[in-house]
Amino acid sequence: MKTEQHKNLIDYNTFGMSVTADSFVEVNSIEEVQQLIKQGVFQSNFFILGGGSNILFTKNFDGTVVKNNITGIRVLNEDNENIDVYIGAGENWHQTVLHCVDQDWGGIENLSLIPGCVGAAPIQNIGAYGVELEDVLTRVHFIDLSNGESKSLENKQCQFGYRNSIFKHSLKNKVLITGIELRLSKKHDLSLEYGAIKSQLEIENITNPTIKDVSNAVIAIRQSKLPDPAELGNSGSFFKNPIISTDLFNEIKKSNPSINCYPVNETHVKIAAGWLIEQCGWKGKRIGNTGSHAKQALVLVNYGGAKGSEVLALANKIIESVKEAFNVTLEPEVNII
């Protein structure tokens, strides 16, 4: 375990922001995390870094960045219908999905090509195309940063919500996630209703899809509208899709009949943040070295040399314009540091 001083993080965040951390250390095991606790690293300013795909650094980090590289995938239990799998927090999420699909373990194929590491997945309760992590997660393992003890929470204890969990609130900066457990299926119940999955399968002339077919369809859809961070700095969806009252939705629909929604409960619906942003004229608009992507308004990008403060300023302008036009307040999905 090596600590580096004044480390440039440009290769550790998908926005490609050139910022430095006072100190930078990579941990590969629970024992190394416990060493850092004894050294007092978590008693001062710190940030736990995974894949760097859901972060906007707006300035240099005055403290220690701890890169979580704890890996490993192993089967815990299985029967004729299900298989329980443990996955280390430092594993790449998309590669984990592909591994499970190749093993014919179903349940997370709709979450293909989501960037980042496994450890961030329960924090964000990641989701896409009608599936959320909470649908298959059974347990989260973590280290208590106050005393180094290994602990875990069951699904119902994680307080999952839309892009939300206990790890964003009462346990924020108090734990380091070391791994998760998923219950995946051997007899698959495919989720094809959300988004353009059915249309993509029709394009490929697939009438009896497997989980591999669904994964490939999701990958194709995402690649068609989301820029590759290796080519154009971004963090994927910058904003959450807002949940609004049915009354407000009906009011918006009067003058915008093309708007769609997804029911949440009897009184609230979810609407597409990208649609709102596009209606306000931001899609494809560039300001300096940043802008809203031409194929997906929800994605803010770094065209090269942008500062995090520029991206944040653009995000705030978008929030203001959507609020003025629709009386809807967008919330960032990314962590702004």
- The predicted-structure confidence for 68-79, as pLDDT tens digits, reads as follows 999 999 999 999
Alpha-carbon Rg of the chain, whole angstroms?
20
Residue ranges of the domains in the chain?
3-68, 73-185, 233-336
Please state which of the four CATH numbers 2.60.40.10, 3.90.78.10, 3.40.50.720, 3.40.50.1820 is assigned to the domain occupying 233-336: 3.90.78.10
Q: How many whole angstroms separate alpha carbon 15 and alpha carbon 291?
A: 12
The structure tokens listed for 61 are 């980090």
One-letter amino acid at 130 equals G
Residue 82 has pLDDT above 70, yes or no: yes
CA distances from 213 to 100, 111, 204, 323 (A): 13, 13, 9, 39
Mean pLDDT of 275-281: 97
Residue 195 has pLDDT above 70, yes or no: no
Residue 2 has pLDDT above 90, yes or no: no
Fold (CATH) for 73-185 = 3.30.465
CA distances from 201 to 106, 155, 206, 224, 275 (A): 18, 32, 5, 14, 24
As a whole-number percent, the residues of the chain with pLDDT over 90 amount to: 95
Contact 4, 24 (CB under 8 A): yes
pTM of structure: 0.92
Residues serving a catalytic function are: 163, 237, 333
Mean pLDDT of 81-107: 98
Q: Greatest CA span in the chain, whole angstroms?
A: 60
- Please state, rounded to an integer, the average pLDDT across all residues of the chain: 96
| pLDDT value of position 232 | 95
Contact 306, 290 (CB under 8 A): yes
Please state which of the four CATH numbers 3.30.43.10, 1.10.10.10, 2.40.50.140, 3.90.550.10 is assigned to the domain occupying 3-68: 3.30.43.10
The pLDDT tens digits for 198-252 are: 999 999 999 999 999 999 999 999 999 889 998 999 999 999 999 999 999 999 9
The structure tokens listed for 278 are 């596009």
- H helix runs in the chain, sequence order: 30-38, 93-102, 121-124, 197-203, 211-225, 246-255, 273-279, 308-326
User: By three-state DSSP, how is residue 117 classified?
Assistant: strand
One-letter amino acid at 185 equals S
| pLDDT value of position 305 | 94
Q: How many whole angstroms separate alpha carbon 162 and alpha carbon 195?
A: 17
The pLDDT tens digits for 106-141 are: 999 999 999 999 999 999 999 999 899 999 999 999
Q: How many whole angstroms separate alpha carbon 102 and alpha carbon 202?
A: 22
The structure tokens listed for 277 are 């942003």
Residue 334 has pLDDT above 70, yes or no: yes
Residue 32 has pLDDT above 90, yes or no: yes
Q: In 10 A of CB 223, how many CB atoms?
A: 11
What's the angle, vertex CA 65, arms to CA 64 and CA 71, rounded to 5? Answer: 135
Contact 320, 328 (CB under 8 A): no
